[in-house]
């Protein structure tokens, strides 16, 4: 076991075996207590890689339809791209901080975390390469082949050469690096052909060609159902491009650049914030590289030159036997669209039986709380409520927080209609929603032009809450309709992500929502706990108090329970309270799709904690908090994962679900996910995940939710 592997082993996390020293008995006892606590934690970055491994495993599963496996493979790659851009970029920025930047849970320094990530990614890359070969074999049996020059006939090679000379060569922009031609800027995530060029006079140069011009197709047709990637075509015919040179070595390369910019740290208050964010998006495209991918090996000398030129540590070079960009999988799926066996059975979001069609929806919410479960049910009722509010004479204002919206947003259209109808429309548009900044900037301009009052968020915080407040004046008194969601106001993702949307006329919730928006309008955050639990000031402490309450019940010998469903669990304060609850005998069920830094089943520490992850057809995205059982159970839905950033550096909302029927529905969904033995994987004390395979009836929770939505829809499945 190398020192890095030893460092990452659960028994040695947080210490470098090369630096161990003898300890006094008192120090040894203290150290053992500390190590016992560390046994409960795993590094955040490595836990995220375990999540992406679960995505890769879905692509590997033979029971998943072929084209859906292609989707999971592409998602695995895009996930990894974003991980390097955001997390590795951030870790690289932390390296100069030294000891101050140690991971609080495992003690790893930023450089050690990067090394551990690269080691793990190399192992995953081997699995991805093997998966790609398997997928290509199955695609060939389905009538689609992606070929290269090792597998095509000489006649096809001649035709491709003619095509290259006629169609591609005139559109290429080759560069030979020299004194008069500096090394070009390599754009983020774009593919380049790199050649080591030799002249007869012995001088060696480097040649580069951008392969993604957007002018010619990525997949070049050889024959019906037979294709070659355009970058492979360019790479093969480099001699026709660099005439007068001998091709000494060649490879396709792809650079991933950091996307880690702290907007608040560099913002100048004298600047227009929206224009500042637009410029920041442009600058991000030129940040330092964090990874260089190669399709073929290059000499150490060439690699050193490349890394030195672009400013990358050679450890960040990864070799792949898979195409460097798998986005072309969507084109293959289009070719096979006519065969339903290659896809999941078609599912259309269903109408909700809670709403009576043909009657206005606003009065129906006033009569009784409503809950929508996406993507199993349609988002239409909420959209209809916004449209009704836009033209309702009793509605005086609509307030909403937007984090990510669709490119053709019906939500935004309804808000603009309301403003044009004279309603007071206040829209908080979070311009710091990573990778959606440009979309949000454009929508903010259109909202302003329509007469909406647009706010851009708060200094130092992201507004991640999913909150909408419609205010009516009835008989001179305000009447609130509040919507609280676990996911974005995005019609596209509402068909792909599992989320919950609560609509209520509860006056206490409405008053609490009004207080949140009043604070945001003043550039502040809610500081006093209310019916709605609001981060950054009131959410973490409230969750900790509710966990502690369950501890008190357990210590008195009474039933105690905590059930939490989130995307990620990293907040150490919350995890410390969960450890104490487990030690006190509280039963704890955690459904954590992605990162989970808390290890269950550690003797004497987390024995009463069970953790499962569900990765399936839809992206699990809803957040649910449950505390207690029976009559004293408190049940919340929330926008917040249990991460330090969500607890302390974002505006988040958790809302109580008070209606007995809606509480029962959420409880049923939660308990069904706990029984899932088809898509669920259980986290073990050693940090590994294993498929849940319990005896008896097969339970695929997402498939069941699809079935129930169809059965409950008015008139049956729609």
What residues act catalytically? Answer: 464
- Find the helix or strand (DSSP H, E) in which 372 lies: strand 370-374
Residue partners of 10: CB distance under 8 A and separation at least 6: 39, 42, 599, 685, 686, 687
- In the three-class reduction of DSSP (H, G, I as helix; E, B as strand; rest coil), residue 204 is classed as strand
**Residue 219: both structure tokens together:** 């997949």
- In the three-class reduction of DSSP (H, G, I as helix; E, B as strand; rest coil), residue 100 is classed as helix
**Residue 232: both structure tokens together:** 């492979």
Cα–Cα distance for residue pair 33/43, rounded to 1 Å: 19
Orientation angle between helical segments 410-420 and 380-391, nearest 10 degrees: 10
Look at residues 675, 670, 673 and name the one whose alpha carbon lies nearest to residue 694: 675
In angstroms, the Cα distances linking 535 to 454, 633, 640, 654 are 21, 22, 8, 9
Orientation angle between helical segments 110-141 and 66-83, nearest 10 degrees: 160
* CA angle, residues 218, 224, 226, in degrees to nearest 5: 50
Give the end-to-end CA distance of the chain in Å, rounded to a whole number. Answer: 58
Q: Is the CB of residue 526 less than 8 Å from the CB of residue 654? A: no
What DSSP string runs through 237-269? THHHHSTTSEEEEEEEEEEEE-----HHHH--T
Across-strand partners of 209?
Answer: 193
Look at residues 477, 411, 472, 479 and name the one whose alpha carbon lies nearest to residue 439: 411
Over the Cα atoms of the chain, what is R_g? Answer: 28
Residue carrying the six token digits 């908080």? 428
Burial 183-199 (b: 16+ CB within 10 A, else e): eeebebbebbbbbbbee
Cα–Cα distance for residue pair 208/252, rounded to 1 Å: 9
**Residue 116: both structure tokens together:** 């551990």
- Find the helix or strand (DSSP H, E) in which 539 lies: helix 539-555
Going across the sheet that includes 317-319, the strands are 175-177, 204-210, 191-198, 246-257, 289-294, 317-319
Cα–Cα distance for residue pair 80/86, rounded to 1 Å: 10
Residue partners of 578: CB distance under 8 A and separation at least 6: 547, 562, 588, 590, 598, 606, 609
Tell me phi and psi for residue 614, to 5 degrees.
Answer: -115, 120
Locate the DSSP E strands across 22-163.
Answer: 145-146
**Residue 660: both structure tokens together:** 């007995």
Residue partners of 525: CB distance under 8 A and separation at least 6: 458, 461, 519, 534, 536, 537, 651
């Amino acid at each position: 076991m190398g020192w890095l592997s030893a460092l990452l082993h659960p028994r040695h996390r947080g210490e470098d075996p090369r630096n161990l020293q003898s300890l006094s008995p008192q120090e040894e006892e203290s150290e053992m207590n500390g190590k016992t606590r560390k046994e409960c934690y795993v590094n955040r970055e490595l836990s995220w890689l375990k999540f992406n491994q679960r995505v890769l495993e879905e692509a590997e599963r033979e029971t998943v339809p072929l084209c859906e496996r292609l989707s999971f493979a592409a998602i695995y790659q895009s996930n990894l791209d974003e991980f390097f851009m955001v997390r590795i970029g951030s870790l690289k920025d932390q390296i100069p901080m030294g000891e101050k930047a140690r991971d609080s849970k495992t003690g790893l320094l930023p450089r050690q975390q990067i090394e551990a990530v690269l080691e793990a990614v190399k192992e995953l890359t081997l699995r991805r390469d093997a998966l790609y070969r398997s997928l290509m074999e199955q695609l060939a049996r389905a009538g689609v082949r992606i070929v290269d020059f090792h597998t095509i006939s000489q006649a096809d090679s001649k035709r491709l050469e003619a095509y290259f000379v006629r169609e591609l060569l005139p559109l290429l922009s080759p560069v030979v690096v020299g004194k008069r031609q500096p090394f070009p800027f390599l754009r983020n995530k774009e593919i380049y052909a790199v050649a080591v060029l030799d002249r007869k006079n012995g001088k060696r140069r480097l040649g580069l060609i951008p392969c993604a011009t957007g002018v010619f197709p990525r997949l070049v047709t050889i024959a019906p159902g037979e294709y070659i990637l355009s970058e492979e075509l360019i790479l093969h015919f480099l001699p026709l491009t660099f005439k007068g040179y001998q091709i000494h070595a060649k490879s396709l390369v792809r650079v991933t650049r950091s996307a880690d910019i702290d907007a608040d740290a560099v913002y100048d208050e004298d600047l227009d914030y929206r224009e500042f964010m637009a410029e920041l998006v442009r600058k991000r495209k030129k940040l330092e590289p964090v990874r260089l991918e190669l399709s073929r090996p290059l000499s150490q000398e060439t690699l050193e030159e490349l890394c030195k030129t672009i400013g990358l540590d050679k450890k960040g070079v990864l070799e792949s036997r898979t195409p460097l960009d798998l986005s072309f999988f969507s084109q293959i799926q289009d070719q096979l669209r006519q065969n339903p066996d290659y896809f999941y059975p078609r599912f259309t979001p269903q109408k909700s039986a809670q709403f009576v069609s043909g009657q206005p929806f606003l009065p129906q919410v006033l009569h009784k709380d409503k809950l929508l479960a996406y993507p199993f049910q349609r988002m239409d009722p909420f959209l209809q409520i916004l449209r009704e509010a836009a033209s309702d004479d009793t509605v005086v204002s609509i307030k909403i927080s937007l984090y990510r919206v669709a490119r053709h947003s019906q939500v935004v259209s309804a808000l603009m209609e309301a403003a044009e109808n004279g309603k007071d429309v206040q829209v908080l548009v979070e311009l710091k929603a990573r990778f959606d900044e440009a979309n949000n900037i454009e929508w903010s301009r259109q909202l302003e032009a329509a007469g909406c009052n647009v706010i851009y968020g708060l200094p130092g915080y992201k507004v991640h809450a999913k909150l909408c407040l419609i205010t009516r004046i009835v008989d001179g008194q305000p009447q609130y309709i509040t919507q609280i969601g676990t996911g974005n106001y995005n019609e596209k993702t509402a068909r792909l992500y599992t989320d919950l949307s609560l609509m209520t006329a509860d006056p206490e919730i409405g008053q609490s929502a009004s207080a949140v928006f009043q604070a945001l309008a003043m550039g502040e955050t809610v500081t006093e706990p209310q019916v709605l639990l609001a981060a950054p000031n009131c959410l973490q402490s409230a969750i900790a108090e509710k966990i502690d309450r369950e501890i008190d019940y357990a210590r008195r010998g009474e039933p105690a329970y905590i059930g939490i469903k989130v995307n990620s669990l990293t907040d150490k304060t919350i995890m410390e309270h969960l450890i104490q609850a487990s030690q006190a005998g509280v039963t704890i069920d955690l459904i954590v799709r992605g990162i989970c830094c808390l290890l269950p089943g550690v003797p004497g520490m987390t024995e009463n904690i069970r953790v499962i992850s569900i990765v399936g057809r839809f992206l699990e995205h809803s957040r649910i908090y449950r505390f207690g059982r029976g009559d004293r159970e408190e049940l919340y839905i929330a926008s917040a994962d249990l991460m330090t950033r969500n607890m302390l550096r974002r505006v988040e909302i958790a809302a109580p679900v008070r209606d007995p029927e809606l509480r029962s529905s959420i409880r049923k969904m939660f308990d069904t996910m706990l029984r899932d033995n088809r898509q669920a994987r259980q986290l073990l004390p050693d940090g590994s995940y294993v498929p849940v395979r319990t005896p008896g009836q097969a339970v695929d929770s997402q498939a069941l939710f699809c079935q129930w939505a169809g059965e409950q829809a008015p008139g049956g499945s729609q």
